[in-house]
Amino acid sequence: MPRTERPFPKESSCRHAAESYSNDMTPNAWQWLWPVFFYLVGSVPTGYLLGKSRGLDIRRHGSGNIGATNVWRVMGRNWGLVAFASDFLKGFLPLYLLRTLSFPDGGSWTIALLLVVCGLAAIIGHNYTPWLGFKGGKGIATSAGVMAALMPPVLAVALALWIIATLVTRTVSIGSLLAAIVLPPAAAWFYPGEWVYFGLATLAGGLAVWRHRSNIQRLLAGTESRIEFGSKKKSDP
């Protein structure tokens, strides 16, 4: 894939750009409140709500996590895919709309910073939802949505690695950890010099690894669960 480059403005437009900089090229004070909205969107516990719709508390089954992997393990493939898609959209849709509708022509590094902070807020909202005592998921699907909205080539690399590793090992946590680890170098390759995007990739990847601490312990102990790719619900261990 080619590296992503930002076009430079023509010299004739520099004066106009400088005059409109304060209005068009930087977020205003109110826009810096958007991360609060993104946190609340990310905090919607979709896996928990899907379980409740079927009369069960997903936190009391399987690994106890509300993420898509545990929903798949407990409720079956179809419900797991719905949970993944819902968590993905929490990270993707609001951020994509904000970027395309409010800043269609890009802008200064402060706009990129605002978008990154909004994306991180959605991930943190998913991981630490206030509606469930600040105990949420592990952020993989929501992080994928954020990457799709801001850095599609980086997501493509991470997703390819996740699919290959998960299919080969049948262990979702291995695929998720490898995808998280590859985010920073992929961001550095596709967005050279864009430290804001590199920071997003580093923080999102680091947070994902941190949320997988228990999985790492089980992997080292050889007790990590493997996922079945059938649609039939499995009984709890």
**Single pTM value for the model:** 0.85
Residue range of the domain that includes 188: 31-221
Is 233 within a domain? no
Give the pLDDT of residue 25: 61
pLDDT in tens, 23-43: 446 778 888 999 999 999 999
Is 14 within a domain? no
CA angle at 52 for the pair 66 and 123, rounded to the nearest 5°: 30
pLDDT in tens, 187-237: 999 999 999 999 999 999 999 999 999 999 999 999 998 877 655 444 343
Is 55 within a domain? yes
Q: In the chain, what percentage of residues exceed pLDDT 90?
A: 77
Is 117 within a domain? yes
Write the DSSP string, 39-74.
HHHHT--HHHHHHHHTT--GGGSTTS--SHHHHHHH
CA distance 230 to 237: 17
Is 140 within a domain? yes
CA distance 122 to 35: 8
- Give the count of domains, the chain: 1
Decide if 135 contacts 128 (C-beta within 8 A).
Answer: yes
Is 114 within a domain? yes
